[in-house]
Amino acid sequence: MKLTELAIGQIARIASVEESPFKEKLQEMGCIAGVLIKPILKAPFGDPIAYELEEYTLSMRCNEADSIVVRPLDPLFNIS
Amino acid sequence: MSITRKIVLAGNPNCGKSSLFNQLTGLKQKITNVPGTTIENKEGSYKVGSTQIKLIDTPGTYSFNPKSLDEKEAVKVFFEDIPPQTILYIADAANLKRNLFYFSQLAQHNIPMVLALNMLDIADFKGFEIDIDRLEKELGIRVFKINARTGEGTDAIKKALAEEQFVPHYAFGSELDHTHETHYDAISKLLNKTTTLKSKRELISNKIDAYATHPILGYLMFLVVLLVIFQSVFTLASYPMDWIETGFATLSELLSDLLPDGWLKRLVINGLIAGIAGVVVFVPQIAILFFFMGLLEDTGYMARVSFIMDKMLRGLGLSGKSVVPLLSGAACAIPAIMSTRNIENWKDRLITIMVTPLMSCSARLPVYTLLISMAIPSTMIFGVVDLQALVMLAMYVLGTVAALAAAVVFKWLIKHDIPSYFIMELPIYHPPRWNNIWINCWQKSLSFVTEAGKVILIVSVVLWFLASYGPTAESNLELKQAGKIEESYAGHFGKAIEPSIKPLGFNWKIGISLITSFAAREVFVGTMSTIYSVGDEENFEQIREKMNKDTDENGKPIYTLAVVLSLMVFFAFAMQCMSTLAVVYKETKTWKWPTIQFVYMTALAYLGSWIVFNLFQ
C-alpha cells in the first residue's frame, strides 16, 4: 500500500520508492527499502504529513508520500 | 615558519554545525565570496602553536548531490584548486544513520576526515549508546565526543586539526556500486557494530508539535508570534533609531563648521552623510527582525510554520519554504531575497523572489508615517483603535495581499517542467543558542549595510547632484540663492514627467520625489523637506504643515485625501529600490527577472494609484 494510506501511529516498512524527480531526495533523507516509517502528525488540511523515520521526523507532501510503497507491520508489533 | 592548514567543516542541517564553528573560531570570522558567483562561505581561523588553521564553514547539506543553491555552495569547496587538508564532519549522535549518509559520500574522496559527534545528551535520552573506540577502528579515523553548545570537547578537536589526519577506510560502497541503498546498508551495518539501543523514550518535541501544528491553535500561535515580533520591531527600534538620527545630525553640524563653504561641503553633508544616515537608520529595525527570525529558526519553530503554511502557499505558487523570505521582506527585501536560496524548486524560488519586494519593508515606513499624518485624522474607532494605526496596518495587509496575488499570476505565467516538492526535516525543538543567533543577526545586518549601502550611497550622490545643479548658470544661481529645486536637473525631470503622473493626482513636486526615491523609498521624506525648504529633515510637523498649505494655480489644496492615498498606494507597489533590483540580478544571474519585476511593479503601482485617485476624487 501507499505511505499516505497509513493511519497516524501505524508503523510500516518501506517496500520501495517509485521513480520520480524527487526520488533521489527521498532516498538521501533515508527513505530506503526496509526502513521503518510511521506517520505521526498531519498539517492542517491533512497535507503535508510528518513521519517518524528511524530517529528523526521527516515531513513531505502527500504527492511525495504517494511514491513510497510500504508494508504495514503486524498489528501486534505496533503496541510498542 | 608557520604552516596554514585548510579545513572544511561539513554536516547536515540542524546538527550544531554553526555552534561548533563559533566555538572553534570565536568571532574571528569573515564572509568570503567565491569569485564569479553570489556564493558566500564563512571563514574563520585560529592558531595552534605555529600552525594556522583556516576553517571554512559550509551550509548544512544532506547529500553530495546538491538540490538547492545553498547546498551547491556547500559542495563547491571540495572542488577548489587546493583541496582541503581535512574535512571536519559534525554529526548529530541522536540521528546518526541519516547524518552519516553525507559522511559516507564525502568519505570516497580520499580526503582525511575527523568525525565530531554532537548532541550526545539527546542520544543518551533516546537510549543510544555509542562505542567510540569501535567506531574509530571501523572508520579508521579519529572520532570526538563534543557538546557544541558548551564547547566541551572542542579543544581536543582544535589540536587534532593541526595534525595530519587519516582517510576513512570503511567501505560504504564498492568501486561500481554507489547507490543510496548500498550506502545506507553499509551505514546500518556499521551502526549495528558500534551502537546499542537501551531503551526508547518519547521526546517532548512531539508533544509541543501537537499544539504548534494544531489546525486552530497552530495558526493562532503563529499570529501571536507575528504580533509580538512586529510590536517589538517598532517599539524597541525607535530608541536606537533616534540616537542614530541625532548622531548623524550632530556629525553634519560638526562637519559644516569644519569644512569650507562650497560644493565639497554640500556634497559631503547633503550627499554622502545623508546617504549613509539613510542606510544606517534602518539597521535597528532590520537587526531586531533578524534576531527574531534567527530565534524562530534556531529553536526549530520556523520549520513548523513552513509545515502548517505549505498547503495554503502551494495554491498560490509558493511553498512552505517561502515563509522565511516573505516575513524577512517586512524588514528589507535584500536579505529576504538572499534567503530564498534554500528553496530547491527553481519556479518556487523565482516566484518568491519576484513577489517579496511587495511586502511592506521598513523603508516605506517613514513615507507612510508622513502621508498618514497629513490626511488621516487621529481619531479613535470604537474607542479602542487609532484610525492612523489602522491605516498603517491596512498598508501592510495591502502589501501582503498584493504579494500573494502576484504569486498566483506568476504561477500561471512561468512554465517549468520540474514539479515542486516539499521534503523537509522537522528538527527537534532546542532552547535558543544565543551565541549563534547574535552572530547570525550581526552578519545579516552587516550584509544589508554593505549590499544596500553601496547602491544607496552612489544613487544618493547622483541624486544630490541632480537636485543641486541645473542646466544653466541662471538656474544654478536661483538654486543656490532661493533654493528653487525646480531649476535643478531633478526639477526639470519632475516637470517633464508631470503629464504622465497627472492622472494619478501628482504634480511635478511629487514627480521629483518619485524620481529621487528610486535610490530608496525613504528618500521621499528628505526630498519633500528640501522642496518645501524645511531645514530639519526629521521634523514631520513642519513638512506636513507646508505640504498641507500648498495649493495649485486655482488655489485648491494639492494634498487632498485622494492624492495622499494615491501616493501611498504608489509607494506600496512601485519598485523603487535599486539595491533590490541589483540583488535580484545577482540571484537570478540575468537582467530578465529584475526588468520584469520593475515593469510589473511599476505598472501595478500606476494602475493602483489611478484607481484609488479616481475613487476618492
pLDDT tens string B134-146: 999 999 999 999 9
Distant-in-sequence, close-in-space partners of B119: CB < 8 Å, separation ≥ 6: B15, B16, B92, B93, B94
Looking at the complex, does the CB of residue B126 fall below 8 Å from at least one CB of chain A? Answer: yes
The pLDDT mean for chain B works out to 86
Q: Give B71 to chain A, closest Cα distance, Å.
A: 12
Looking at the complex, does the CB of residue B213 fall below 8 Å from at least one CB of chain A? Answer: yes
Looking at the complex, does the CB of residue B207 fall below 8 Å from at least one CB of chain A? Answer: no
pTM score, two decimals? 0.85
pLDDT score of B42 more than 70: yes
Q: C-alpha distances in angstroms, B415 versus A36, B595, B601?
A: 37, 18, 20
Q: How confident is the model at residue B167 (pLDDT cuts 50, 70, 90)?
A: very high
pLDDT score of B475 more than 70: no
pLDDT score of A31 more than 90: yes
Q: Which of B210, B423, B421, B209 is closest to B300 using CA atoms?
A: B209
Among B99-108, B407-416, B544-553, the range scoring the smallest mean pLDDT is: B544-553
Taking an 8 Å cut-off on Cβ atoms, the answer to whether B423 and A60 are in contact is yes
Identify which of B184, B311, B424 has the shortest CB distance to residue A32: B184
Q: Give A60 to chain B, closest Cα distance, Å.
A: 4
pLDDT score of B459 more than 70: yes
Q: Which residue(s) pair with A6 in the sheet?
A: none
- B460: enclosing H helix or E strand: helix B434-468
pLDDT for position B172: 87
Q: How confident is the model at residue A75 (pLDDT cuts 50, 70, 90)?
A: low
Taking an 8 Å cut-off on Cβ atoms, the answer to whether B423 and A22 are in contact is yes
pLDDT for position B36: 41
pLDDT for position A79: 47
Using CA atoms in the order B80, B74, B186, B172, what is the torsion angle rounded to 10 degrees? Answer: 0
Q: Span A32-36, mean pLDDT?
A: 93
Distance CA B275, CA B252 (A): 12
Distance CA B242, CA B151 (A): 38
Q: Give B244 to chain A, closest Cα distance, Å.
A: 44
Size of the A and B interface in Cβ pairs below 8 Å: 115
Q: How confident is the model at residue B311 (pLDDT cuts 50, 70, 90)?
A: very high
Q: How confident is the model at residue B147 (pLDDT cuts 50, 70, 90)?
A: very high
> How buried is B190 (Cβ within 10 angstroms: 0-12 exposed, 13-18 middle, 19+ buried)?
buried
Looking at the complex, does the CB of residue B301 fall below 8 Å from at least one CB of chain A? Answer: no
Among B57-61, B97-101, B273-277, the range scoring the smallest mean pLDDT is: B273-277
Identify which of A32, A35, A41 has the shortest CB distance to residue B213: A41
Q: Is B344 helix (H, G, I), strand (E, B) or coil?
A: coil
As separate numbers, helices (DSSP H) first and strands (DSSP E) second, chain B gives 27, 12
B-chain CB neighbours of A27 within 8 Å are 180-181, 184
Q: Which residue of A has its CA nearest to B310?
A: A48
Identify which of A25, A55, A57 has the shortest CB distance to residue B426: A57
pLDDT for position B249: 86
pLDDT for position B28: 66
Reported as a single tens digit per residue, the pLDDT across B349-360 is: 999 999 999 999
Q: DSSP assignment of B216-231, as one string?
A: THHHHHHHHHHHHHHH
The dihedral of CA A51, A53, A58, A64: what is its sign? negative
Identify which of B62, B209, B308 has the shortest CB distance to residue A29: B62
Q: Which of B421, B420, B364 is closest to B392 using CA atoms?
A: B364
Identify which of B101, B126, B307 has the shortest CB distance to residue A48: B307
Per cent of chain B over pLDDT 90 is 38
- A38: enclosing H helix or E strand: strand A36-42
Taking an 8 Å cut-off on Cβ atoms, the answer to whether A56 and B425 are in contact is yes
pLDDT score of B106 more than 60: yes
pLDDT for position B517: 83
Q: How confident is the model at residue B34 (pLDDT cuts 50, 70, 90)?
A: very low
Q: Which of B395, B365, B386, B403 is closest to B521 using CA atoms?
A: B365
Residue B333 one-letter amino acid? A
